[in-house]
Structure 1
Amino acid sequence: MLCLRCSLGLGAVTKQSNGVKTARNVVAQMTFASFTPLRPTIFPSAFTSSLRSPLAPPPSSTSAAATEAQLDLNILPFKPTTHPAMEAMQIRCAPRNTFNPSHFVRKRRHGFLARLRSRTGRMIIKRRRAKRRSTLSH
């Protein structure tokens, strides 16, 4: 059996039998919970169609034109500025879903010893000492 990505047709399998094609159609109609990757990529998401509600009510307010424009942008399968050759590239400086609210992770990322390890961290500690901050870091 193919994995979820392969069954949604991201180009991994070129020749398929009839049984696999029907299984692919069944899987494409099912709704799955998806986890976003740790680093966002440029390629179009296969799950956007399953996440959108097919029974969305039509806009009935004074800002109907703005709402329709927003819906049109949501219907697009990918960003208009993307290029197929760049679909495997990672997007830098994008929001990620890696927030872990624990003291250990906070200390590891922003703690005093983490600041001492890098040049910019040492500069941060020097600036905070110059301002006579009571807390130099976490």
Structure 2
Amino acid sequence: MSNIANFYRTLHQRIVSRSLSSSAHSTAMNTMFSSITRLARPVLTKSLAQSPRTFTTLVPLRPSLTPLNGAIRRTALPSSFTPSTAASADIVPSSAISAHPALGDMQIRCGPRNTMNGHTRLVQKRRHGFLCRKRSKTGRKILLRRKVKGRRHIAQ
């Protein structure tokens, strides 16, 4: 509840600091703010009392330019789960560059990547289509072989 109260307090301070030019305006803003908080408190207390929410963060598969903070990486883990020595021990071999303890919170350059990202028909035609085959010497040989064999579709 303290986080929500802090949020409303900072919101109130921002509104008041922006509207200091007119005291009547700031009084109106104060009353509006108090009415908003009065209306929001019962709703917020009900939603917080019903179920405590647990937040988890997933470590990205792709390398990132900014190092991950330790606070972000820490999650509420169930008691049955026991993590290994490093947070990314299952994806980084011991011989990797990033396996050094000093580089624990740094990016993983050689980690796994999402290989199925963006595979569309357009990408398939760009890589294996007729025009791509025509451009290279080996591609022209492939087209010739398929034409001689009598393929209905010369290129995919």
Structure that is richer in helix per residue: 2
The TM-score, its normalising length taken from structure 2, stands at 0.35
Q: Which has the higher contact order (CA 8 A, sep 6+)?
A: 1
